[in-house]
Homo-oligomer: A and B are copies of this chain.
Amino acid sequence: MKKLDILKKLRSSGLRPTKQRVEIAKFLFEREKTFHFTVESLDKLLSKKTTSKFALATIYNTVHAFKAAGHLSEVEVRGNKTYFDTNVSNHHHFYDSETSELIDIDANEVVIQKIPKAPNGKKIKNVEVFINLKN
């Protein structure tokens, strides 16, 4: 994703492209592969890779704004902190609890043959599969 696209992406989702948002967006979205991170890990990586400083609150604000705009998704993994994901399509995960590492599984790599129907009055929003790993 090129810089111009980053600006477009921000503007088209009603996010003013501030210095901080553009830098964070470049860091998150200008890459080939899915990136899974916590606010803490993102903060550390940003400190290393860029010269600017970001208040921690800004990182929280930005990540939540990106999530609300649909540019990031949240992944539920065991543990205390929240994980985010640059892959916002419907997909699944391998999870290695020893390293806290998430690995994407494309939706079509998992085929479910049988699934119960939703409880009365409710509908199925989506199905998430976690494959927990060991060594």
Please indicate the chain B residues that have their CB under 8 angstroms from the CB of A128 in the complex: 129-130, 132
Please indicate the chain B residues that have their CB under 8 angstroms from the CB of A125 in the complex: 132-134
Please indicate the chain B residues that have their CB under 8 angstroms from the CB of A118 in the complex: 94, 131, 133
Cross-chain contact B129 with A134 (CB below 8 angstroms): no
Instruction: Give complex CA distance A76, B93 in Å.
Output: 14
A14 at the binding interface (Cβ < 8 Å): no
Residues of A in contact with B, size category:
20 to 34
One of A22-30, A44-52, A58-66, A102-110 at the interface: A102-110
Instruction: Tell me how far the C-beta of A78 lies from the nearest C-beta in chain B, rounded to whole angstroms.
Output: 5
Instruction: Give complex CA distance A112, B127 in Å.
Output: 12
Residues of A within 8 A of B (CB): 74, 76-78, 94, 96, 103, 105, 109-116, 118-119, 121-135
